[in-house]
Amino acid sequence: MKSTFEVINSSQTDNLVYLPVESLNDKQEKEYQNTLYLLNYRHNMQSLSAFIKLHSLTRATNAIEATVVDHIGYKLRFNVLYFIQSTTTNTRYVLSTWGSETLPVMSLQMLYQAFNWAEREIWDMFGLFVIKHPDLRRILTDYGFVGHPLRKDFPLTGFKEVQFEDSIKHVEYTNTELAQSYRLLSFSSAWSHE
């Protein structure tokens, strides 16, 4: 199988790890043939993204999205992925870095304005602090919300229950109570002949 990615030959790529995908079928190879995955250190994200945006051979000017993958149990538990596209070379770049609750990542919002809301969402949903972001505040949850709902250790029922009290025209927060107690279930089938 031919290599599906190329490495940029530059002094900016000293800290990068080249990640080719080995086992792609033909359909996947067509879909990912113009994608370059770059794994970088947290503190070099701005210089790498500036190189990708401003260099004449790359010119990746379109910020597509930013997302996080939560790997609970890892020392650096959050894998932050920035997806950037170059329309002049028809290439997609995936910038990947790692962070944790105590090790924040650098903001790319100064280079790509479209990452403003995405980085606020990363803070709100995962609790991963983004350094040098100009307006890092909650965007999808209430300001009094406790926790970060997309973390894998966040309880499915949440911590608080929100309800509108019509008689006093006020929103009230109460602790979550599960009305049903634990039941012991039998998984034996009534239709089996055992």
Fold observed for domain 11-145: Beta Polymerase; domain 2 (3.30.460)
The first and second tokens of residue 43, run together, are: 């503190």
Percent of the chain residues topping a pLDDT of 70: 75
Residues in the chain: 194
Average pLDDT score, the chain: 80
Q: Phi then psi for 85, rounded to 5 degrees?
A: -125, 145
What integer pLDDT is reported at residue 160 of this predicted model?
A: 78
Average pLDDT of span 1-22 = 41
Alpha-carbon torsion (116, 105, 13, 90), positive or negative: negative
Which secondary structure element, helix H or strand E, spans residue 174, and what is its range? Answer: strand 170-175
Contacts of 62 (CB under 8 A, 6+ apart): 84, 85, 86, 87, 114
**Each residue of 38-68: pLDDT tens digit?**
888 888 889 999 999 999 989 999 999 999 9
Whether 160 and 174 have beta carbons less than 8 Å apart is answered as yes
Q: Following CA atoms 20, 23, 29, 31 in sequence, which dihedral angle do they give, to the nearest 10 degrees?
A: -80
Q: Where are the domains of the chain?
A: 11-145
Give me the DSSP letters along 27-51.
HHHHHHTTEEEEE--GGGHHHHHHH
Q: Phi then psi for 18, rounded to 5 degrees?
A: -85, 120
**What's the whole-model pTM score?**
0.72
**Each residue of 144-167: pLDDT tens digit?**
788 899 998 887 777 777 788 888
Average pLDDT of span 168-193 = 71
**Each residue of 86-132: pLDDT tens digit?**
999 889 999 999 999 999 999 999 999 999 999 999 999 999 999 99
Whether 81 and 66 have beta carbons less than 8 Å apart is answered as yes
